[in-house]
């Protein structure tokens, strides 16, 4: 399968058309941004790690009954996926307080939550991905009630799978963000990626941060953290 035309370039990936109108190729970059693109940098080797890790995780998730857009990995940075229209919701799950939740709620990072929190942001860079709820999503036509119900069910299942997966590799899944798409028949599929860009992962013993917060917060050893996750998952 060959790349034809550049369809879209995002902050971390390019998307190319192919000869099959139902399939596109995702091409992972080493570019990293934070704070809605204000902070820019490169994380050497990130594209290949995020590509491989996402595909591995998506296969596992698919087996557990949550459909994904994955078709096949083409190279270390490129993957063929089903063409979908992305539901403009960033779906976030929090198991432990951190990041914007800690700031907004005045709860110290690392505080355990009594149950997982599922939250939505409106995926809109111009607005800085504002926090919204189901009513906003319905009223703005971002998704139907049925789609929201499916997305929530899939997301909580993904959380259970990922928590166990990372814990078995010595990491706590603090929180993560996923995105869903709709295929040509309107079927909801897990899309985008699951990687250290989109998950907070802390070492289970020391709470060392092994994710993109090392880049966001200038903590150093950014590449080392991505490589460590990759290695612990047995993917290196």
Retrieve residue 125's tokens.
């860079």
- Round to whole Å and give the CA distance between 212 and 58: 20
- Round to whole Å and give the CA distance between 25 and 23: 7
Applying CB under 6 A, among 10, 36, 103, 236 the residue interacting with ligand ASP is: 36
- State the number of binding residues for ligand ASP (CB under 6 A): 8
Could you tell me which stretch among 46-54, 150-158, 175-183, 224-232 binds ligand TMP (CB under 6 A)?
175-183
Retrieve residue 22's tokens.
């139902």
Applying CB under 6 A, among 173, 212, 229, 233 the residue interacting with ligand ASP is: 212
Applying CB under 6 A, among 25, 87, 189, 199 the residue interacting with ligand TMP is: 199
What are the angstrom distances between the C-alpha of 117 and each of 113, 149, 167, 210? 8, 15, 19, 21
Q: Which is nearer to ligand TMP, 18 or 173 (CB)?
A: 173
Could you tell me the smallest distance in angstroms from the CB atom of residue 128 to ligand ASP? 8
- Round to whole Å and give the CA distance between 33 and 38: 7
Could you tell me which stretch among 35-43, 109-117, 160-168, 188-196 binds ligand ASP (CB under 6 A)?
35-43
| Percentages of the chain per state (helix, strand, coil), in multiples of 5 | 30, 35, 35
Could you tell me the smallest distance in angstroms from the CB atom of residue 2 to ligand TMP? 30
- Nearest to residue 185, comparing CAs of 22, 25, 1? 22
Binding mask 37-76 for ligand ASP (x = CB under 6 A): x---------------------------------------
Residues near ligand TMP (CB under 6 A) are 92, 98-101, 175-177, 198-200
């Amino acid at each position: 399968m060959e790349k034809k035309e550049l369809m879209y370039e995002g902050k971390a990936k390019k998307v190319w058309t192919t000869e099959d109108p139902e399939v596109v190729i995702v091409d992972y970059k080493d570019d990293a941004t934070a704070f809605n693109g204000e902070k820019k940098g490169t994380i050497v080797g990130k594209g290949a790690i995020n590509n491989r890790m996402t595909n591995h995780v998506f296969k596992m998730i698919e087996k557990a009954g949550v459909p994904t857009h994955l078709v096949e990995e083409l190279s270390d940075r490129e993957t063929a996926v089903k063409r979908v229209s992305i539901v403009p919701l960033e779906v976030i799950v929090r198991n432990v307080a951190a990041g914007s939740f800690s700031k907004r709620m005045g709860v110290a990072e690392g505080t355990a939550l009594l149950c997982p929190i599922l939250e939505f942001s409106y995926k809109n860079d111009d607005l800085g991905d504002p926090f919204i709820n189901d009513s906003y999503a319905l009223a703005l036509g971002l998704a139907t009630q049925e789609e929201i119900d499916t997305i929530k069910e899939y997301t909580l299942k993904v959380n259970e799978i990922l928590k166990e997966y990372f814990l078995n590799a010595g990491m706590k899944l603090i929180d993560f963000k996923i995105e869903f798409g709709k295929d040509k028949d309107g079927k909801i599929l897990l899309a985008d990626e699951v990687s250290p860009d989109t998950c907070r992962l802390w070492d289970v013993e020391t709470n060392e941060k092994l994710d993109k917060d090392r880049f966001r917060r200038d903590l150093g050893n950014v590449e080392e953290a991505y490589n460590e996750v990759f290695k612990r998952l047995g993917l290196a």
